[in-house]
Amino acid sequence: MAPHVEGAGTKQQRGIETRMALLEASGRVFSRLSYDQAKLKDISDEAGASQGSIYFHFGNKYDIAEAVLAVQQERMRAALDEELAVGRNGYETIVVMLRRLADLMATDRLVQAGLQLVDSLPEALRDHGHNSYVTWQANGAMLIERGVADGSITSTESPRLLAEVINELYVGAQMMAGMADRWGSLPDRVDRFLPFVRLLLRPESAR
């Protein structure tokens, strides 16, 4: 049996809390500054911590940016997993997910930081950001295939093509909202294009 170390659990908990505080601070910094503009001092000042704590928990700026991107994608993936567990049909899951992702991007600073980073990442990190779009397009095709199988989607177009078009609609709205008001208007912009998603996936609804 391992010896009991007084305060070990408390120390570990403090370490977890410090790491999360640094991540949240990084999210706030990267959501307003590009990768090149952001400095470790900006993050440590934002977190109210020393730069040494950043080196201890993450390493350099590359490492903390990579961690921010990982959290962004984890939170988006968690939203999809939760909706898949609800058991809606394919069409309804797509509609709910588009709205939920829009709400997440409009309110979550770490997710916003990931969005901001994608456009300013160094070459070595670029795949981490851009691959997320490929992943979400594949998820969209999967949901469309599910909808075709359960009868909630009636389009005869390729699921891959439909997913690409919906991804383009979403990313366009995301970019416009990012430029206009730091993604605050994204939920409204998504609601505005959802009728066109319905026409794409259920073309008989136009008759």
- The b-or-e profile of 141-159 (16+ CB within 10 A means b, else e) is bebbbbbbeeebbebeeeb
> Is 1 within the bounds of a domain?
no
Say if 207 falls within a structural domain.
Answer: no
CATH classification of the domain holding 168:
1.10.357.10
Q: Could you give the C-alpha distances from 71 to 5, 104, 111, 150, 193, in angstroms and in order?
A: 31, 13, 8, 32, 28
Q: 40: domain range?
A: 6-201
What is the tens place of the pLDDT at every residue in 136-167? 889 999 999 999 999 999 999 999 999 999 99
For residue 32, tell me if it sits in a domain: yes
Give me 4's structure tokens: 């009991």
* Residue 140 dihedral angles phi and psi, to the nearest 5°: -60, -45
For residues 87-113, b (16+ Cβ closer than 10 Å) or e, as one string?
ebebbbbbbebbebbbebbbebbbbbb
Domain assignment of residue 179, yes or no: yes
Task: Indicate the number of domains in the chain.
Answer: 1
In a domain, 58, yes or no: yes
8 Å CB contact between 59 and 40: no
Q: What is the pLDDT of residues 60-95, one digit of tens each?
A: 888 898 898 888 889 999 999 999 999 899 999 999
**Mean pLDDT computed over 28-55:** 88
For the chain, give the mean pLDDT.
Answer: 88
- In the structure encoding, which two tokens stand for residue 65, read together? 């940016």
Please give the residue that has the higher pLDDT: either 3 or 143: 143
pLDDT of amino acid 75: 92
Determine the pLDDT at residue 169: 96
Q: Whole-model pTM above 0.75?
A: yes
Whether 206 is covered by a domain: the verdict is no
Q: What is the reported pLDDT for 204?
A: 85
For residue 12, being part of any structural domain is answered with yes
User: For residue 6, what pLDDT is reported?
Assistant: 53
Which tokens sit at 100?
A: 């939920």
**Residue 95 is assigned to a structural domain of this protein:** yes
